[in-house]
């Protein structure tokens, strides 16, 4: 599947959940997805200055009854542990995180070795439920993760693999 | 201006605004001034994110006016928030930057570059246009309506220069809510006032 088609499928999944606000900070793997979401009238896209700002924005949107998603790279997520554990865990605020599975097989960038080593262990350490999506026919996981975050009253994450975003 | 006097004045002029307080002393001061437990969200666990939280809320509820307090300690950790705020340009958001020139919640520890930071200039540099500053209560009383009153619309930043908490004020009660109770009180108030569904089920 072409990246543009994958981006459209992800957008459709998000819209189906009721997501209106997309807060993002880019990663090369999701640049096309971000461009697509920016131009999709179903969403308000807010580029943020740092990933923690996306966590704050999405928490506020939730308190106003609006669906949202925080979209970021793996490195960005690693900067958000404070915001997530403070806001989302302390107040039990749901959140859908969409992020890249950087540092996994097929990622040739050496500066993502740290993400390959520590991204999933960090998610596990803070008991943040996540699933990995490698193929387009697994994209229904986005809706399941969104709905589970509402049931769970905490964040859930979908990690987008290289094979999906290639 | 005394921190709590400033907040008591603002509380007295508040009408139907929803309020978000920040990590630091603003939650203590707002709780002391209002004892509001439903239409204020004490976002104590959030260094530098109260106005981002408020922006998400303001975007979701465009008919509600939102006040967000942020200490200058929190502001210094994430001044780029103003770029996001300016970009969103939410007409129903007022950002109160409570400048006590110290890390108030940590015994008034030194803030970097504290005496030189020009918060209004930083805001102007990010493109904000509705910026007001008040250094004493008399100025605030005179300028409140033009800056923040009901007829004043547009994304607004108000820099409040206040004295750091005294040792006695540091003992002011913290808002006595666990996080989930805070969430439910605030969410239920919003559901009652606006009709939107926040929690996803009604009592």
Where does residue B24 fall: left (phi above 0), alpha (psi -120 to 50 degrees), or beta otherwise?
left
CA nearest A95: which of A18, A160, A150, A33?
Answer: A150
Q: Give the closest-approach CA distance of B79 to chain A in angstroms.
A: 9
Contact of A140 with chain B, judged by CB distance below 8 Å, is answered with no
* Mean pLDDT to the nearest integer, B68-72: 96
Q: Give the closest-approach CA distance of A40 to chain B in angstroms.
A: 17
How do strand A130-133 and strand A155-160 relate by DSSP bridges?
A: parallel
CA nearest B199: which of A16, A68, A60, A65?
Answer: A65
Superfamily of domain covering B3-191: Thiamin diphosphate (ThDP)-binding fold, Pyr/PP domains (3.40.50.970)
Q: Which helix (H) or strand (E) holds B6?
A: helix B3-13
Contacts of B177 in chain A (CB under 8 A): none
Q: Give the closest-approach CA distance of A68 to chain B in angstroms.
A: 9
Share of chain A above pLDDT 70, in %: 100
* Mean pLDDT to the nearest integer, A110-120: 94
Range of the domain at A122: 3-165
- Say yes or no for a CB contact (<8 Å) between B183 and A93: yes
Is residue B34 a contact partner of residue B40, using CB atoms and an 8 Å limit? yes
- Say yes or no for a CB contact (<8 Å) between A58 and B49: no
Two tokens at B95? 């950002």
How do strand B102-103 and strand B109-110 relate by DSSP bridges?
A: antiparallel
User: Helices H, strands E: what count in chain B?
Assistant: 8, 8
Is residue A109 a contact partner of residue A115, using CB atoms and an 8 Å limit? no
- Say yes or no for a CB contact (<8 Å) between A56 and B58: no
Two tokens at A17? 């959940």
- Say yes or no for a CB contact (<8 Å) between A64 and B48: no
- Say yes or no for a CB contact (<8 Å) between B49 and A55: yes
Residue B10 has pLDDT above 70, yes or no: yes
CATH number at residue A157: 3.40.50.970
If you search the block for the tokens 């026919």, which residue do you land on?
A137
CA nearest B197: which of A116, A90, A127, A63?
Answer: A63
- Say yes or no for a CB contact (<8 Å) between B80 and A63: no
Two tokens at A119? 């991204």
| Dist CA A85 CA B174 (whole Å) | 20
Which residue in the set B43, B60, B88 is minimally distant from A46, CB to CB? B88
Tell me: the pLDDT tens digits for A11-34?
A: 999 999 999 999 999 999 999 999
* Mean pLDDT to the nearest integer, A65-87: 97
pTM here is 0.97
Residue A163 has pLDDT above 80, yes or no: yes
Report the number of distinct structural domains present in chain A.
1
Q: Which helix (H) or strand (E) holds A133?
A: strand A130-133
For every residue of B102-154, DSSP letters joined together read EEGGGTTEEPTTTTT--HHHHHHHTT--EEEEESSHHHHHHHHHHHHSTT--S
Tell me: the pLDDT tens digits for B87-126?
A: 999 999 999 999 999 999 888 999 999 999 999 999 999 9
């Amino acid at each position: 599947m072409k990246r543009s088609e994958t981006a459209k499928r992800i957008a459709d999944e998000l819209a189906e959940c009721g997501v209106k606000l997309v807060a993002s900070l880019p990663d090369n793997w999701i640049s096309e997805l971000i461009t697509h979401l920016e131009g999709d009238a179903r969403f308000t896209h807010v580029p943020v200055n740092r990933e923690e700002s996306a966590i704050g924005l999405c928490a506020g949107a939730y308190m106003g009854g609006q669906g949202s998603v925080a979209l970021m790279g793996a490195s960005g997520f690693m900067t958000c542990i404070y915001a997530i554990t403070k806001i989302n865990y302390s107040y039990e605020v749901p959140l859908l995180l969409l992020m890249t599975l950087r540092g996994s097989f097929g990622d040739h960038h050496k500066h993502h070795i740290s993400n390959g080593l520590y991204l999933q262990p960090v998610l596990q350490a803070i008991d943040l439920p996540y699933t990995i999506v490698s193929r387009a026919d697994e994209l229904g996981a986005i809706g399941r993760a969104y709905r589970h975050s509402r049931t769970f009253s905490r964040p859930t994450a979908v990690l987008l693999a290289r094979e999906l975003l290639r | 201006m005394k921190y709590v006097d400033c907040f008591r004045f603002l509380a007295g002029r508040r009408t139907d605004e929803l309020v978000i307080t920040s990590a630091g002393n603003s939650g203590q001061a707002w709780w002391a001034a209002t004892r509001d437990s439903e239409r204020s969200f004490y976002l104590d666990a959030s260094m530098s994110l109260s106005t981002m939280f408020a922006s998400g809320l303001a975007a979701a509820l465009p008919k509600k006016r939102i006040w967000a307090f942020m200490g200058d300690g929190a502001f210094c950790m994430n001044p780029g928030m103003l770029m996001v705020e300016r970009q969103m340009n939410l007409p129903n958001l007022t950002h109160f930057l409570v400048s006590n020139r110290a890390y108030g919640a940590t015994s008034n520890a030194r803030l970097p570059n504290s005496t030189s930071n020009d918060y209004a200039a930083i805001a102007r540099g990010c493109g904000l246009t509705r910026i007001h500053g008040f250094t004493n209560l008399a100025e605030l009383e005179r300028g409140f309506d033009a800056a923040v009153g009901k007829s004043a619309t547009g994304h607004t930043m108000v820099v409040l220069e206040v004295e750091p908490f005294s040792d006695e004020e540091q003992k002011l009660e913290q808002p006595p809510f666990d996080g989930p109770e805070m969430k439910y009180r605030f969410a239920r108030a919003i559901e009652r006032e606006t009709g939107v569904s926040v929690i996803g089920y009604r009592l």
